[in-house]
Structure 1
Amino acid sequence: MENLVAQFRGAVRTAGATVGDGDLEAAAAYLLTRWSEPQRQYHTVQHLTAVLDVIDRFDALAPHPERVRLAAWMHDAVYDPTALGDANERDSAEFAEGLLQTLGVPEDTAAEVARLVGLTAGHATEEDDPDGELLCDADLAVLAGDDEAYADYTAKIRREYAHVPDDDFKAGRAQVLKALLELPSIYRLEPIREQWEARARANLENELKS
């Protein structure tokens, strides 16, 4: 956890935070408590760490990697499995903008991080948005896992939605899978797409068939 706190402190300081390190560390600790809430099975600190690892691996592809890292920290800061539509993403974006401003991050930078967070609702980016593309690609990296990792992911998602009856869950999950498969490409950044696209599509198609 100390490494994660240090990473957050570095990213938010690079983004222009003006408060002391103690306040930055307290903010990171608070975010980690959110990522550790009991209703979470997949959207946990493990997922946050995995997203950050991908961003670190490909950060040269983004002009503002510190904003992408902060958006990763914030993108599921609000997570209620019973919420409808993109309420979690909207609430997380609003939360992100407010928190970053309290840490002294300039308003335009805080707003941009909030915009990035909002992209994770549908993982659709406009052209010439490498920061957004890296965040979305990192968030969807799990789709390209091996058989064991993908099965673990789908099992955790089902546990998060344990309140939903099987038939309703299957119907909703099928819609999600079809929407991802209908994207021109699941991954936007070419180096990532070359490595993961085929595997992710195979995983999604196999789950849809099952």
Structure 2
Amino acid sequence: MPLNEEEAVLLGAAWQRLAGGGPEAAAVGAELLDRWNEPHRRYHTLLHLWETLRAVDVLQGEAADADGVRYAVWFHDAVYEGRPGRDEEESAELAARLLELVGEEPARIGEVVRLVGVTATHRPEEWDADGKVVSDADLSVLAGPTDEYLAYTAAIRAEYRHIPDRVFRAGRSRVLRSLLDGPHVFHTAFGRAHWEARARVNMLAELDRLASSAPLDLPPP
């Protein structure tokens, strides 16, 4: 489901509050919005950006630098070609280049680059308050109602429609088991209290579907 008109306006306003209203900030914001709106995306879209930023709003009380986390969210999937690890690396490089144009301080830029890297593994260190927030915000979709979770899994499958079903099932199952095998899916106090149980139910149910022979939902191109 795409952003509605009101959400699109609010998303642009959120960038302006974060980066300012200067021409450089406007140009960087326009580039980011174009990237998030690329036609090959099915899940990693403007809607994912919007919902992840809203999750940061919920978790911001646990962040050391909530605006730094917001910058990391804007950049974390700005490069998305379905190449785990490499996409995050190139997104971090993009953040370093474009935030300098916006006029952010080197220390803030370095921290945003580091936080984008956290989204490649979703394994922040215990001391890393901002890493916990950016990781949990990115994974908050896992705790959605069943219909929203099924729409999410169908969109992920669509982004990998070029991958044979057998290969996709195996790869997706590894990702889910990696998250479930940790002591927690979520790292913030709020995430553990409010999202953990629902997310585990959703992921275990998805693993059951992946293990079956039933065709996976795949929307039209």
TM-score scaled by length of structure 2: 0.89
CA distance in 1, matches of 2:96, 2:34: 18
Summarize the alignment of residues 148-163 of structure 1 with structure 2, pairs less than 5 Å apart: 148-163=147-162
CA distance in 2, matches of 1:3, 1:199: 28
What amino acid sits opposite 1:25 in the alignment? A
Percent identity reads 44
Alignment partner of 1:5 is 2:6:
no
**1:140 match: secondary structure:** helix
- Which digits, 9 at most, give the CA deviation of each residue in 1:155-176, with x for residues without a partner? 0000000000000000101111
Aligned partners of 1:5 and 1:25 also within 8 Å: no
Match of 2:27 in 1: 26
CA distance in 2, matches of 1:160, 1:77: 15
Structure 2 runs not aligned, ≥5 long: 1-7, 210-221
Aligned partners of 1:78 and 1:89 also within 8 Å: yes
CA distance in 2, matches of 1:57, 1:188: 14
- Which digits, 9 at most, give the CA deviation of each residue in 1:138-159, with x for residues without a partner? 0000000111000000000000
Match of 1:16 in 2: none
Structure 1 runs not aligned, ≥5 long: 14-19
CA distance in 1, matches of 2:10, 2:194: 28
CA distance in 1, matches of 2:53, 2:170: 31
Match of 1:135 in 2: 134
Summarize the alignment of residues 14-163 of structure 1 with structure 2, pairs less than 5 Å apart: 21-81=22-82, 83=83, 85-163=84-162
**1:117 match: secondary structure:** helix
What amino acid sits opposite 2:114 in the alignment? R
The size of the alignment, in residue pairs, is 202
CA distance in 1, matches of 2:124, 2:93: 19
Alignment partner of 1:175 is 2:166:
no
What amino acid sits opposite 1:159 in the alignment? A
TM-score scaled by length of structure 1: 0.93
Offset, 1:60: 1.5
CA RMSD of aligned residues (A): 1.1
Offset, 1:9: 2.2
Offset, 1:27: 1.2
What amino acid sits opposite 1:67 in the alignment? G
Offset, 1:12: 2.6
Aligned partners of 1:11 and 1:67 also within 8 Å: no
Aligned partners of 1:12 and 1:66 also within 8 Å: no
What amino acid sits opposite 2:14 in the alignment? Q
Aligned partners of 2:24 and 2:101 also within 8 Å: no
CA distance in 1, matches of 2:198, 2:100: 39
CA distance in 2, matches of 1:130, 1:147: 29
CA distance in 2, matches of 1:7, 1:21: 14
Match of 1:205 in 2: 204
CA distance in 1, matches of 2:105, 2:136: 26
